[in-house]
Amino acid sequence: MTTTIRTVRRMPGKPAALLPGGIALASAAAHGAAAVSTDGPMAWGMAAMGVLCLGCLVHLRPGGHGPRAATVHLMLMCAAMTLAHVCWLALLAPAGHGHAGMGSAGGAGYGPQGHGPAMLALMAFELACMAASSAALRRLARCSAATG
């Protein structure tokens, strides 16, 4: 009877335990879509970031570190990827001191026809993933405190 009660108490934590995996898959899909929609180094960079998003799933496998470790890993990866997007966006901005920067030739840079808006959208998505993983971490803490 005690096992049944413990199982029922843990049920509310199941969605929170699955949330890091869903967020990681959504982020990988967003980076995959960005990789397909562009070409050259940007496509390879987005594809690599999409693969890096899947690193959080390792903790959710049977015998892994569990959903709490996956959620913390996800939060750190979202922060690192947001920083990487900021740096990449700075590289795409036109050079201001006379050199032909990546963003100043052929519309391949920051402008509306370039990669800037897509990069800003991915940064917003990464920040939303970080907020969702923070909420999942709080939910996991509440569920583990309730089950003892």
Domain ranges in the chain are 64-95+116-143
Task: Tell me, letter by letter, the H, E, C secondary structure of 48-91.
Answer: HHHHHHHHHHHHHCCCCCCHHHHHHHHHHHHHHHHHHHHHHHHH
In this model, does residue 11 exceed pLDDT 70?
A: no
Q: What is the mean pLDDT of the chain?
A: 75
Digit-coded pLDDT (tens) for 87-132? 888 877 665 444 444 444 444 455 545 667 777 888 898 899 889 8
pTM of the model: 0.69
